């Protein structure tokens, strides 16, 4: 039901407010869950502790004084509550001066001392009429909590009696789940904490069941091609390539390589994820796999996230495989028309063995002679539509995806359930962890001497910001302002600016200048998170570090440990929030990407961390893959059972709803 439907009785202003929150249908309102609940603390004043949040009923004594101080209205008055006289202060509620002696009100506030309360809200309903548990929703400036609550209640009134259960009845009965309509009502209007607990349990199970059933459907989708000609590669050739490497493969690299080669030699298309921490050597493993593919008579393609990285990969792989007669070409927009045409011809005729490029390789003008292996060098999940496009370009091509956001194997099988997963847990010997320092101010003046020393040694520096321009709602340091300031500070060095609003050509030009050391200081947003491999850049400053996810920060600092020189990362934050500071301290304490990504999973969910939204999987809103192990494992088992008999009348409706709601082809 669209929000403009007359049955909802929403004003244009309220429709605009809900759409600003990303809510466009009545069903969206019901699935807009509170992020926390305020529970009334009605204890006796004698037990109150300073800074404790309390709610109580009181009778106004005397008159209310009201005045302005530094632009804020301050109202002060006294109330008699539970035989105690309490002094109340409330800010920016100028109408409080209308309270009269004898008025009975209910106040919620913070204890600021003996018999002193700093009120947050008050109303004229008796305490017995107050909701004991009040939902609190994520909102934006100008949109009040009561507006969100009222809109949700109107959605219930309009949709009541029509909300269908999604979970097959046999699982509802087995686990004593609530009907969906009841669960949604309780999560928005809980009368008791048990109501809330049951609602959350029901809706979490539904989320996980939909999630894992979607994965089962994706697995089924990937088995469309029953038979793939095995890649009968030259084992002796592969061993010579490995022997010629200037380093020894780690145990993790060897195990991942054997997994990949076994998939390539099988009669089923490979769809494998190779995951490992920053610098674990995933690309070297992929290059050896591409060499094996070529010896089997097929072409291999590598998709890189940026043109700069595509060129870097091409140079590295050509150096590695060129001496063995394997021809590598690179396709990117910076080539002249004649150069592009030549590369396209080499790809089409099969004269090119290994093809490196950006997503331009997916264009219709690119036709392969015999594509056998596709490697996607991205941190995010490879999209369903891109997967289908490449299927059409190759003849049952094998897929190898790489992720630098590693997670423990038990969770990898859940998040990447439609793929086989290889994990490289060990880093090459001699790899130094980035020295990471947390600075509790949004300035690097305290380490300026260290930064200047790094530049004087001939090294290069990244400076990362969370915003391009200054914005009132998100007062973070802006790239434009930092760029201007650092041009003055680092007058003896070339400073450049990079951000997402620049055109592709502009971004590539800046990144190339930095890669060639024509620029020593690069001020950038997170566009450098993927695709910059500048060995000489060994320093990074990150403004407003509290605004980034932990995995994102870990990926960013990985840019400054690409070679043997010691990398340095300075994280700046002016946040005083103890939770934020504790999160950032994790990066100081460890360079273990597994631990870091787990913290991110707890805080942000898989959609943000791993790009699962690209894959057609439904979002997890309540469910947490890092914490809800019991419900998750139960739902995963039930999803597998559902797929054993998808024609069972009990599950047909569930599957139909799921296919309609998510991008399962």
Residue 103 pLDDT exceeds 90? yes
CATH top-level class of 41-130? mainly beta
**What is the reported pLDDT for 236?**
97
**What is the reported pLDDT for 408?**
74
In this prediction, residue 605 has a pLDDT band, given cuts at 50, 70 and 90, of: low
Q: What is the CATH number of domain 435-590?
A: 3.40.50.300
* Average pLDDT of the residues in 501-517: 87
On average, the pLDDT of the chain sits at 87
* Average pLDDT of the residues in 161-181: 93
User: What is the share, in percent, of the chain residues with pLDDT greater than 90?
Assistant: 50
Q: In the chain, where are the structural domains located?
A: 1-33+138-163, 41-130, 235-424, 435-590
CA atoms within 13 A on the CB side of 532: 34
Residue 419: other Cβ atoms inside 10 A: 25
Residue 44 pLDDT exceeds 60? yes
**What is the reported pLDDT for 415?**
67
Three-class HEC string of 404-431: CCCCCHHHHHHHCCCCEEEEECCCCCCC
| pLDDT tens figures, 256-285 | 999 999 999 999 888 888 988 877 889 899
Residue 427 pLDDT exceeds 60? yes
Fold: same for 235-424 and 435-590: yes
Give the three-class secondary structure for 124. Answer: coil
Give the three-class secondary structure for 73. Answer: strand
Residue 224 pLDDT exceeds 70? no
- Does this model's pTM top 0.85? My answer is no
- Higher pLDDT, residue 552 or 612: 552
Q: How far apart are CA 577 and CA 261, in angstroms?
A: 49
Contacts of 55 (CB under 8 A, 6+ apart): 40, 41, 42, 106, 107, 108, 127, 130
CATH superfamily of 235-424: P-loop containing nucleotide triphosphate hydrolases (3.40.50.300)
**What is the reported pLDDT for 614?**
45
Least-confidence region, from 395-399, 417-421, 439-443 = 417-421
Nearest Cα residue to 398 out of 310, 304, 294, 314:
294
In this prediction, residue 386 has a pLDDT band, given cuts at 50, 70 and 90, of: low
In this prediction, residue 613 has a pLDDT band, given cuts at 50, 70 and 90, of: very low
Residue 658 pLDDT exceeds 90? no
Residue 633 pLDDT exceeds 60? yes
């Amino acid at each position: 039901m669209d929000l403009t439907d007359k049955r909802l009785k929403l004003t244009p202003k309220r429709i605009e407010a809900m759409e600003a929150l990303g809510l466009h249908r009545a069903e969206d309102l019901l699935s807009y869950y509170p992020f926390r609940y305020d529970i009334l603390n009605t204890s006796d004043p004698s037990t109150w502790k300073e800074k404790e949040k309390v709610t109580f009923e009181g009778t106004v004594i005397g008159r209310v004084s009201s005045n302005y101080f530094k632009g804020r209205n301050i109202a002060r008055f006294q109330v008699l509550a539970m035989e105690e006289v309490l002094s109340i202060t409330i800010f920016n509620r100028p109408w409080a001066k209308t309270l009269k002696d004898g008025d009975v009100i209910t106040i919620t506030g913070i204890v600021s001392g003996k018999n002193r309360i700093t009120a947050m809200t008050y109303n004229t309903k008796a305490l017995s009429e107050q909701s004991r548990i009040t939902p609190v929703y994520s909102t934006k400036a100008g949109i009040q909590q009561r507006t969100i609550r009222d809109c949700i209640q109107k959605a219930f009134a309009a949709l009541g009696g029509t909300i269908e259960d999604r979970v097959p009845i046999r699982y509802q009965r087995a686990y004593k789940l609530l009907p969906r309509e009841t669960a949604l009502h309780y999560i928005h209007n809980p009368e008791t904490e048990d109501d809330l607990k049951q609602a959350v349990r029901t809706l979490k199970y539904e989320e996980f069941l939909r999630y894992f059933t979607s994965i089962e459907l994706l697995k089924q989708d990937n088995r469309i091609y029953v038979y793939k000609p095995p890649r009968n590669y030259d084992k002796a050739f592969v061993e010579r390539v490995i022997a010629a490497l200037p380093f020894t493969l780690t145990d993790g690299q060897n195990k991942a390589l054997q997994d990949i080669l076994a998939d390539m030699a099988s009669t089923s298309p490979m769809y494998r994820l190779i995951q490992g921490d920053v610098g674990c050597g995933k690309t070297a493993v992929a290059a050896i796999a591409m060499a094996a593919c070529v010896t089997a008579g097929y072409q291999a393609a590598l998709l890189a996230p940026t043109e700069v990285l595509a060129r870097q990969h091409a140079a590295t792989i050509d150096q590695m495989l060129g001496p063995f007669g394997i021809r590598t070409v690179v396709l990117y927009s910076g080539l002249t028309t004649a150069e592009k045409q030549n590369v396209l011809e080499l790809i089409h005729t099969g004269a090119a063995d290994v093809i490196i490029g950006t997503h331009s390789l997916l264009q219709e003008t690119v036709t392969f002679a015999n594509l056998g292996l596709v490697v996607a060098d991205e941190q995010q999940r490879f999209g369903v539509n891109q997967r289908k496009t490449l299927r059409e370009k190759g003849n049952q091509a094998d897929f190898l995806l790489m992720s630098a956001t590693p997670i423990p194997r038990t969770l990898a099988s859940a998040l990447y359930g439609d793929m086989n997963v290889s994990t490289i847990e060990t880093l090459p010997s001699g790899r130094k962890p980035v020295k990471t320092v947390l600075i509790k101010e949004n300035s690097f003046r305290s380490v300026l001497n260290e930064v200047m020393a790094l530049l004087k040694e001939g090294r290069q520096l990244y400076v990362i910001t969370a915003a391009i321009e200054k914005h009132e709602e998100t007062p973070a340091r802006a790239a434009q302002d930092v760029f201007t300031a650092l041009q003055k500070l680092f007058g003896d060095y070339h400073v450049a600016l990079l951000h997402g609003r620049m055109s592709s050509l502009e971004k590539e030009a800046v990144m190339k200048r930095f890669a060639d050391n024509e620029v020593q200081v690069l001020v950038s947003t997170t566009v450098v998170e993927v695709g910059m491999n500048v060995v000489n850049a060994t320093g990074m400053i990150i403004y407003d570090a509290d605004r980034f996810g932990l995995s994102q920060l870990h990926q960013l600092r990985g840019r400054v440990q690409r070679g043997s020189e010691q990398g340095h990362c300075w994280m700046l934050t002016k946040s005083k929030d103890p939770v934020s500071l504790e999160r950032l301290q994790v990066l100081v304490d460890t360079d273990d990407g597994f631990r870091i990504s787990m913290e991110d999973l707890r805080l942000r969910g898989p959609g943000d961390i791993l790009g699962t939204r690209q894959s057609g999987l439904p979002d997890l809103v309540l469910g947490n893959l890092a914490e809800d192990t019991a419900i998750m494992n139960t739902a995963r088992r039930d999803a597998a059972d559902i797929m054993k008999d998808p024609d069972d009348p009990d599950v047909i409706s569930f599957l139909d709803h799921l296919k309609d709601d998510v991008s399962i082809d």
